[in-house]
A = this chain, B = another copy of it.
């Protein structure tokens, strides 16, 4: 005969298939010798047999259940029929994995008209006993007999209002007795049946109800959605109830085995004597720090200390434990890995590894990479936030941080006020490259339009600067220099606070608290870099950004955007001369001037990055981005360039594009104006040569953007190589360099084998690739991506987490095709997704060499990369076997 019922001490944590998740966990704790309330589990096989036998419990099974019930009574020295040591049990369902939709829990099973008095006597608390009874009646009626719980709720509400009572705890024993009576009446009315007074019958009915709930509609729908086979079945766990409120020898508490805020090795928690768990939560009595238990009950405290150490060793992590003391006897109700702050996570990880409790790999795989954001940016004090006035709550948290400053509506004023010593916040409909100087001096950037990958968001993240975008309910009036918000008007120069982690904007200043990293953070990051297969580079071109990334030990630069170097005043002027001048000599002169600037830039950059790999992207944006927009600017620029306003407007209109994202940009510009790229590579190579002569071996990786056709790449690469070879001969030196391409068009992925014939390396530009694959403009899609997410059309924003089915397939194809031509080709990713942990796992899986992201995301990416390696090696059995 199959064994269907397992005592907790007959199982362990690995028996989830048979005992369900809960049953297996309780068995595990029991097998560790912990004082877990005793009980047994009826197996999933019993469930299947029940369902296959026309929903009949076999006599054998009934006998087996009662045999285990008897054993339970013996072990606990309690009984359903005892008038002193009353046995009450909880009955819970438990499938292999947690599964919503099934009946969950019945507490206090065993209570009846007689036992309720026994419980009242034992706890010296009739109100508690009758409250337990009325709860049992309610739960049991609902889950076992399907009595609509509204019947009970409505009566309770009605009763309280009739008696002018507000809270459940205001109910007296008399009230509760009347309610119990009424609840039993509901059974009679609805079912024409009495509530079963016999605890044995209560138990059998409850077991049948749990088994049956495996096949109720919600459970079946959930299974089919999640591909869970219907023949798994559910187990039923029956466990002794313990009460912390039976007197002063009893109590209840929660604790962490280490301090979850600081990570210090100390038992941290609180407890209440003569109380139930709810009492702690309800806040009627104030719990006491766990340290006092050492004085109140040194014996129990000693047990707890031992258990803490044992559990940390067993689960290899800091634990969060619930316990109850019943008549001076300690029971552990639950233990699980404890939640902790980002800061403490690192300390705990380092301590546990150093104390020999666990391995680097295990601790690293448990830290949430995103939590590093918390660590690296200051945050508002939660208490201060509670009191602050919200003026926008719908913005997207584009770049984390907590910033307070005065509002300005244009870059120029922001710069001016900043120079005057003010802390400023730039607020715009949306930003454009001309705003960069203003963004650079601002504490935060706020826009009313755009999504997570809008210009403002991308640039701010690159700068590690707090940014909230798409605050659609802010009506910005740039002319009046005002913001209209729901509740008032905010004028230029008034103060707001911006929370880049939540996307909320507050009126006035909000207090901040600093967060700081300590040695353990750096230790963990060092481990992560050792473990990770995938290298992490940074997207950076300013000296500040590069220094930030180098502090995090970025493995080089994966994307240096040269166009960002064109937007300061004098350079923009030269660039405009190049675009606007009719005379070739002037155009070439302009380029020469720009080259001088670029040589200075690249030299400074190379001095930082030295022999680290550095990928430099040649000019990418369309030319119209360099031209002025407003009437005033047009007038100024026309004067500067010696044109009439009409001529300038004519040129602007010629360069204007209906869909600039799909327009004349990237390598297409260089096909039209090869001199642009040649100037840039000359500046790169001259700078590199300069450093090489000083003994610093720079090896630039020159990247051509927006290539869709092999012919584009061939033509440009050839021209560039000829130019470089001539230059090096002229300089009489040798500099190693590579020429590769950004893979950011679907077509590039499809012809990657051909591209690899010419390209020395690939770097995926996931922003554009996602835009083209979905046909989404990142500037416009914000409008509907949110709705798509709430309608569950999109699970994740594909600009934030790689879309494996679409974009991911193209990336996989490109990697395979590229390596089919050049097996050892260096392939990385430099788009926004390079800093997203879920995406990083995917990039690791498809075999990339590195990811590149904003400097402030480098540690996040390093951790995620290590986690992916650990996960992969675990699957291959290399680490934990």
Residues on A lying within 8 angstroms of B by beta carbon are 657-664, 668, 671-672, 706, 708-709, 711-712, 715, 744-747, 750-751, 754, 768, 771-777, 779-781, 783-784, 787-788, 791-794, 803, 805-807, 809-810
Q: How far is the CA of A777 from the CA of B656 in the complex (A)?
A: 13
CA distance A794 to B668 in the complex (A): 12
| Inter-chain contacts of A775 with B (CB < 8 A) | 661-662, 706, 708, 744-747, 768, 772
Most chain B beta-carbon contacts within 10 A, residue among A657, A672, A747, A779: A747
Most buried by B among A712, A773, A784, A792: A773
Residues of B contacting A781 in the complex (Cβ-Cβ under 8 angstroms)? 662-663
Is there contact, CB below 8 Å, between A662 and B777? yes
Provide the bound-state CA to CA distance between A805 and B806, in Å: 18
- Which residue of B is nearest A454, CB measured? B658
| Shortest Cβ distance from residue A799 to the other chain B in the assembled complex, whole angstroms | 12
Q: Is the pair B746, A671 in contact by a Cβ cutoff of 8 Å?
A: no
Closest-by-CB residue of B relative to A429 is B653
Is there contact, CB below 8 Å, between A791 and B671? yes
Whether A750 lies near B805 (C-beta < 8 A) is: yes
A745 x B774 contact (CB < 8 A)? yes
Beyond A664-B780, A668-B784, A709-B794, whether A810 also contacts B659 by CB under 8 A is no
Which residues of B are found within 8 Å of A668, using beta-carbon distances?
784
Contact of A657 with B780 in the complex, beta carbons under 8 Å:
yes
- Given A657-B780, A805-B751, do A709 and B793 touch, yes or no (CB 8 Å)? yes
Docked-complex contact A671 and B745, CB < 8 angstroms: no
What 17 new A-B contacts, CB under 8 Å, besides A661-B777, A663-B777, A672-B784? A658-B779, A661-B775, A662-B771, A668-B784, A671-B784, A671-B788, A671-B791, A708-B776, A709-B793, A711-B791, A711-B792, A746-B772, A746-B775, A747-B773, A751-B805, A754-B805, A772-B775
Nearest Cβ on chain B to A344's Cβ, whole angstroms: 39
A-B contact list, 28 entries, CB within 8 Å: A657-B777, A657-B780, A658-B780, A659-B661, A660-B780, A661-B777, A662-B771, A662-B781, A663-B777, A671-B784, A671-B788, A672-B784, A672-B787, A708-B773, A708-B774, A709-B794, A711-B791, A711-B792, A715-B791, A715-B793, A746-B773, A746-B775, A746-B810, A747-B805, A747-B806, A750-B810, A751-B806, A754-B805
Q: Would you list the 9 A-B pairs with minimal beta carbon distance, nearest first? A: A662-B777, A659-B777, A747-B806, A658-B779, A711-B793, A746-B746, A663-B780, A657-B780, A659-B659
Chain B residues whose C-beta falls within 8 Å of the C-beta of A660 in the assembled complex: 658-659, 780
Give the docked Cα–Cα distance between A684 and B663 (Å). 37
> Is B658's CB under 8 angstroms from A661's CB?
yes
Q: How far is the CA of A746 from the CA of B750 in the complex (A)?
A: 11
Known: A709-B794, A792-B711, A805-B750. A661 touches B662 (CB 8 A): yes
Contact of A750 among B663, B777, B806 (CB under 8 A): B806
CB of A794 within 8 A of CB of B711, answer yes
Tell me which residues across on chain B come within 8 A of A779, comparing CB atoms.
Answer: 657-659
Cα separation A806 to B805 with both chains bound (whole Å): 18
For A777, list chain B residues within 8 Å (CB): 657-659, 661-663
Rounded to whole Å, the gap between the CB of A709 and the closest CB of chain B is 6
Residue among A768, A775, A777, A803 with most chain B CB within 10 A: A775
Q: How far is the CA of A788 from the CA of B664 in the complex (A)?
A: 12
Q: How far is the CB of A200 from chain B (nearest CB, A)?
A: 49
